[in-house]
Amino acid sequence: TPRPRVLSGIQPTADSFHLGNYLGAVRNWVALQETHDAYYCVVDLHAITMGHDPAALRERTRISAAQLLALGLDPERCTLFVQSHVPEHAQLGWVLSCITGFGEAGRMVQFKDKSAKAADTTTVGLFTYPILQAADILLYQADQVPVGEDQRQHLELTRDLAQRFNTRFGKTFTIPAPFILKDTAKITDLQDPTAKMSKSASSPNGIIELLEDPARSAKKIKSAVTDTGREILYDEENKPGVSNLLTIYAALTMRTIDELLEQYEGRGYGDLKKDLAEVVVEFVKPVQERTRAYLEDPGHLDKVLAIGAEKARAVASVTLGQAYQNIGF
């Protein structure tokens, strides 16, 4: 039996991924290569909905792809590509926008949040972004889509659109199911451990960027906000800071929280931070080296991405052709 197909994307909106992106998303992508027919995409079309700088976007798209490769995506075992290299995304996006109700799109909570925060720069693209995301998924006939809480509503929309299209125009799309990842680490901000680690963090010291100077990362870990008391316990409610450090530690070393608790019994926060700082440095160093190697050989990176786009288009063009045919083009 063929492996289930999975699709996931990440935006090239920062100069570096952060530890939350890796432990919450990319690490799972790497694992899914072994069990799934995996399609991964750097979603640059989604990165222009709020205004952007062209040179920075181009650079960040390449850096994102280089980091994904450095973190373990293997072009022999997955299809890695850049969204704008596959024109079918925008083409199917248009078709799907014509079967989406205006009110239906208006119910997307993420749009309401983002547009409320940036009313002056809100675009029609930001409004229709979930429809383009539906196209991203349906083009590949994905069986499964890994989703966090914040993307659930968008995947529901994707499923509704697929069903609607199939009912009106004949079976065209696979209805994708949400793929709930079992042990996805939720990483929180080092300075504000009740908030998620995010590139829009209020303090740069709250996030570990994979491509920053490792000495800086070590410093950030050592000055992470910890909790009152001294005992090293895992308690997200009362000790969110220490719990976050334990989560990162366990995830990067493939050990369990219980093993760590045993190791640090009777020891203080300082010991934990010092050791974790070392673990983080040892993790990022080779990732940085590999990322640099990809960026220093642009011809090779271009080739990897061109092959990925070709593999993606082979699937996407068939789906789009079928969809066009079924709607009467």
Binding annotation for ATP: 11-13, 20-21, 148-150, 187, 196-200
**93 lies in the site for ligand ADP, by CB under 6 A:** no
200 or 228: CB nearest ligand ADP: 200
CB 255 within 8 A of CB 249: yes
The rounded distance, in Å, linking the Cα atoms of 60 and 42 is 10
Q: Which stretch binds ligand ADP (CB under 6 A): 18-26, 116-124, 241-249, 315-323?
A: 18-26
**83 lies in the site for ligand ADP, by CB under 6 A:** no
H or E element at residue 79: strand 79-82
| Buried/exposed 206-226: b ≥16 CB within 10 Å, e otherwise | bbbbbbbebeebbebbeebbb
Out of 186, 199, 222, 311, which one is annotated catalytic? 199
CB 217 within 8 A of CB 277: yes
The residue of the chain with the least Cβ separation from ligand ADP equals 24
* Options 12, 24, 176, 206; binder of ligand ADP; rule CB under 6 A: 24
Q: How many CB atoms lie within 10 A of CB 199?
A: 15
Nearest residue to 88 (alpha-carbon basis) of 326, 324, 328: 324
* Options 5, 6, 12, 25; binder of ligand ADP; rule CB under 6 A: 25
Q: Site map for ligand ADP, 187-216, x if CB under 6 A?
A: x--------xxxxx----------------
Q: How far is the CB of 16 from ligand ADP (least distance, A)?
A: 11
Query: Annotated binding site for L-tryptophan: which residue ranges?
Result: 136
Q: How far is the CB of 69 from ligand ADP (least distance, A)?
A: 17
Place of tokens 């960026």: 295
User: Which neighbouring-strand residues pair with 59?
Assistant: none
114 is catalytic: yes
Q: Report the phi/psi class of residue 10: left, alpha or beta, with left for phi > 0 and alpha for psi in -120 to 50.
A: beta
196 is catalytic: yes
CA dist 15 to 30, 59, 98, 167, 204, Å?
Answer: 21, 8, 35, 43, 13
Q: Site map for ligand ADP, 135-154, x if CB under 6 A?
A: -------------x------
Interacting residue ranges for ligand ADP, rule: CB under 6 A: 10-11, 20-21, 23-25, 148, 186-187, 196-200
Q: Show which residues are catalytic.
A: 114, 196, 199
